[in-house]
Amino acid sequence: METPPVLVDTRGRVGLITLNRPRQLNALSDALMDALGAALLAFDADPGIGAIVIAGGPKAFAAGADISAMADWSYMDVYQGEFITRNWETIRRVRKPVLAAVAGLALGGGCELALACDIVVAAESARFGLPEVKLAMLPGAGGTQRLPRAIGKAKAMDMCLSARQLDAAEADRWGLVSRVVPDEALLDATLALAAEIAAYSLPALMAIKESVNRAWESSLSEGIAYERRALYARFASADAHEGMQAFLAKRRPQFSHR
């Protein structure tokens, strides 16, 4: 039987997707990205899931796009096949929080996949890099766009133009990752964080994610106006009233995710 390119599991309200091509260091083939996109959309549509974790293996989160497939592609292949746009960008449609658990190498498309997640938890062994320049390619899955927004132009240029790799401590200092944990604690720590997040009101989480993402794509005035509308909309939510009433009654809130 063929090995599935991703493994899918649930832990309470958390959906766990594990990239599963360890012998190719989780190189992101089309089949893997199709399967990842399908798993993300399935968890996004599942009312029992409040947050999603994408994990790799101990040696590699992912070593980038699958060079063995790309090596033979022509311009027409990638243009007509909408390489990246067709399946890698599925993650942009996910409205629930997505966390990356990164150990080992996150290179090229692997680094870009982590950058597309909402929260990145890194193990001490994590290494982030965009080595595409070595192939005379470029980081084409959002790397040249998300990286400068995440860490600033000077650092992004350094990584893209020199293929410099960051270790976990540097990535943490530069704001590329959210937290660094020991390797042996990575999955448990990420799942625990995801469970903590998933216990909050789902529509509140989605509104927060939308609002923070809006900060990347709009002026401050537009972003603030968007945020204010999102705040006003919270007053139409049963959970927001429950949250505030529970606070006043000094009890735990019972969220209905409505």
Binding site for ligand CAA (CB under 6 A): 24-25, 27, 63-68, 105, 107-109, 112, 131-132, 135, 137, 139-141, 143
Question: Which residue number places its CB atom closest to ligand CAA?
Answer: 108
User: What is the closest distance, in whole angstroms, from the C-beta atom of residue 75 to ligand CAA in the complex?
Assistant: 15
Report the residue number, 4 or 243, with the smaller CB distance to ligand CAA: 4
| Alpha carbon 36 to its chain's center | 12
Phi-psi region of 18 (alpha: psi -120 to 50; beta: other; left: phi over 0): beta
Instruction: Go through 93-124 and write b for each residue having 16 or more CB atoms within 10 A of its CB, e for each that does not.
Output: ebebbbbbbbbbbbbbbbbbbbbbbbbbbbbe
Residue 181 parent element (H or E): strand 179-181
Catalytic residues: 65, 109, 112, 132
User: What is the closest distance, in whole angstroms, from the C-beta atom of residue 80 to ligand CAA in the complex?
Assistant: 17
User: What is the closest distance, in whole angstroms, from the C-beta atom of residue 50 to ligand CAA in the complex?
Assistant: 30
CA distances from 140 to 17, 72, 152 (A): 23, 17, 18
Report the residue number, 50 or 57, with the smaller CB distance to ligand CAA: 57
Report the residue number, 20 or 211, with the smaller CB distance to ligand CAA: 20
- Given a contact cutoff of 8 angstroms between Cβ atoms, the answer to whether 101 and 186 are in contact is yes
Report the residue number, 107 or 119, with the smaller CB distance to ligand CAA: 107
- Given a contact cutoff of 8 angstroms between Cβ atoms, the answer to whether 128 and 106 are in contact is yes
Separation between Cα atoms, residue 44 and residue 193, nearest integer Å: 18
Which of 115, 64, 61, 120 is CA-nearest to residue 91?
115
User: What is the closest distance, in whole angstroms, from the C-beta atom of residue 60 to ligand CAA in the complex?
Assistant: 7
User: What is the closest distance, in whole angstroms, from the C-beta atom of residue 22 to ligand CAA in the complex?
Assistant: 9
- Given a contact cutoff of 8 angstroms between Cβ atoms, the answer to whether 165 and 128 are in contact is yes
Report the residue number, 30 or 170, with the smaller CB distance to ligand CAA: 30
